[in-house]
Chain A
């Protein structure tokens, strides 16, 4: 007996939903992934609520307090006669806590912006390369090889030098340097998927190559790219902070964690907390993305025995 349409569609949606639910369930079973996810949700909340949580303006210097004043917290016995500054005052008379909150915003924007750009361009290049093959494949992949022959940060520094220092150019440089990694993964996935029977069937039916590539092949090649992208956000945040630390990225008085570290470098001896706080913040953010990325890799891999 032929199954009716309703049964077919309900069976189809059921398996489809289960695949993603399975992945989510496996992700939530991994303790480290849950820790990473919670850290990132907390960070996102801080970033979104920064204007509400901040006690002072992150950029305007305060006039009524000395620079490098140590933290003063009411709950820990800060006298009422003194103003409360949870992380103290930085070397330029600004409330460090407010600057840290706005820094969370910038870090997330930096991470997502660079990876989105690199992932889009890299996937397109890799997919075209893998699907079309021939000399186009050769040209694209040899260019990627040469870019990978440079140490990552060195090429980023060189690109910023060419584009000119600044946050936007630093992000652009990191994006460009990250492209080859994604292109290679996308190409490998596309090559492994394009000989599958369902793609051959599409081709036999006369579906256009662009539609096959974007609707049939890419969705099935996305998994490793999602994992790499999540891990890449951590790398992008660290690299952007490094460029800012060298004075090539965000410029003062932007509340960006890397430049905040650089600005307070000379306070290592008298106010080490001004270095410790942004350093720990960068580390925890990157750790969050790394833990989530590792967890996603396991959760999205159907070959793993569970």
Chain B
């Protein structure tokens, strides 16, 4: 297992390097002079030279890339051209929302998808199986920006004034505010990495209110999260349901299942104790692969539901031609994606000894 882990971590280095290089190179291929964008049309050649000198833009490209890597290693993601804020701070403020959304969606998609898949496989070829699979086909084909708008229409307009009403936009009802965890627990003397971690967790509204035991805020945050999370997770739910069904049906045809049945085990035990364990491997892979879709879907869904996450500010920074910010957001999301895939690979190897021995 250790050698597998070492090999997998070594493979990570070229991929991370590639991600950084591609985003760096693409950001430099963007047309337009960064100096004019930052200082405006009236900037003189002298001012521009000084600007370029200050940000190291007069150096050769390899030197610039080395500087960029050096800055990243120190946790410096650069400054936004639009607001001159440190992009790292913006990420710390906005990313928790996106991560919260994507992971809640993943949780919903896994639970609902696996349950539907089991039901479908258990009653194979029955009307309920056909219905579920038709629903799954439809779910895979429906764009998230459409399902999001339809969910918002149904739960916010059709169900208005009923207990099932859900808010169509925003993170919290206006008037309700989130107290940073640092203040709740009087951790004013925190600094460095622990402060970053605490701030990150603190900016996830549901987790913050859960930790501080603030139930009204938790309930409000959760109600605002349900529609976006279901929207983001819709396609993944369908894909996971299909995968669970086919994987379970494959396993159900094997000899050891016949043996289990022959010794008189109840069907539920056969499925949950014997079949599902082996069927889980491909399901876990698919769940991990879904995270890419979920992060992409989160960008779209945030704009629909007016959620203040990275997706929303990323689209804003494209319109504002704020490329340092855009580059940083892309790098951060891609690195999260790679890390989750790494975790999936490792758990896969942990569950299936054949993989780590290869």
* Chain A residues close to B by CB (< 8 Å): 32, 142-143, 145-147, 149-155, 157-162, 164-165, 234, 238, 241-242, 245-248, 258, 261, 265, 268-269, 272, 275-276, 279, 282-284, 286-287, 290-291
Contact = CB atoms under 8 A, between A and B. Distances in A.
Interface string B98-135: 00000000000000000000000000000000000000
A149 B318 contact: no
B262 interface: no
B23 interface: yes
A154 B143 contact: no
Contacts of A258: 143, 145
A287 B314 CA distance: 30
Interface of B: 14-15, 18-19, 22-23, 26-27, 29-31, 137-138, 140-146, 149-150, 152-153, 157, 291-293, 295-297, 299-300, 303-304, 314-315, 318-319, 323, 326, 330, 333-334, 337-338, 341
B26 A279 contact: no
Contact of B137 (A151, A242, A291): A291
A245 B18 contact: no
Interface centre among B27, B318, B326, by most chain A C-beta atoms within 10 angstroms, is B318
B292 to A, nearest CB: 4
A245 B297 CA distance: 12
Contacts of B15: 145-146, 149
Nearest to A147: B22
Nearest to B323: A161
Nearest to A282: B143
Contact of A157 (B29, B157, B318, B323): B318
A155 B299 CA distance: 12
A150 B27 CA distance: 15
B149 A238 contact: no
A38 B47 CA distance: 64
B300 A162 contact: no
B18 A161 contact: no
Contact of A154 (B14, B145, B149, B299): B299
A149 B337 contact: yes
A261 B146 contact: yes
Contact of B30 (A142, A162, A238, A287): A162
A245 B14 contact: no
A158 B23 contact: yes
A152 B330 CA distance: 12
A275 B295 contact: no
B295 A159 contact: no
Given A149-B18, A265-B149, A154 B326 contact: no
30 contacts: A32-B137, A142-B14, A146-B19, A149-B15, A151-B333, A151-B337, A153-B299, A155-B330, A157-B299, A157-B315, A157-B318, A158-B330, A162-B26, A162-B27, A238-B141, A242-B300, A248-B315, A258-B143, A265-B149, A265-B304, A268-B153, A268-B157, A279-B146, A279-B150, A283-B141, A283-B142, A283-B146, A284-B141, A286-B142, A286-B143
Nearest to B154: A272
A154 B27 contact: no
The list of the 3 closest CB pairs from A to B, nearest first, reads A153-B296, A146-B18, A279-B146
Contacts of B29: 162
B157 A269 contact: yes
A158 B26 contact: yes
Given A151-B296, A158-B23, A272-B153, A242 B18 contact: no
Given A143-B18, A282-B143, A287-B137, A154 B296 contact: yes
Nearest to A265: B149
B141 A287 contact: yes
Given A143-B18, A265-B149, A272-B153, A151 B326 contact: no
Of A146, A155, A158, A290, chain B has the most CB atoms within 10 Å of the CB of A158
Contacts of A238: 141, 143
Contact of B141 (A158, A234, A248): A234
Nearest to A237: B143
Given A149-B334, A154-B333, A268-B152, A161 B157 contact: no
A39 to B, nearest CB: 11
Contact of B334 (A142, A150, A286): A150
Contact of B145 (A146, A150, A245): A245
Contacts of B26: 158-159, 162
Contact of A248 (B296, B318, B338, B341): B318
Contacts of B141: 234, 238, 283-284, 286-287, 290
Contact of B18 (A142, A265, A269, A283): A142
Contacts of A154: 292, 295-296, 299, 330, 333-334
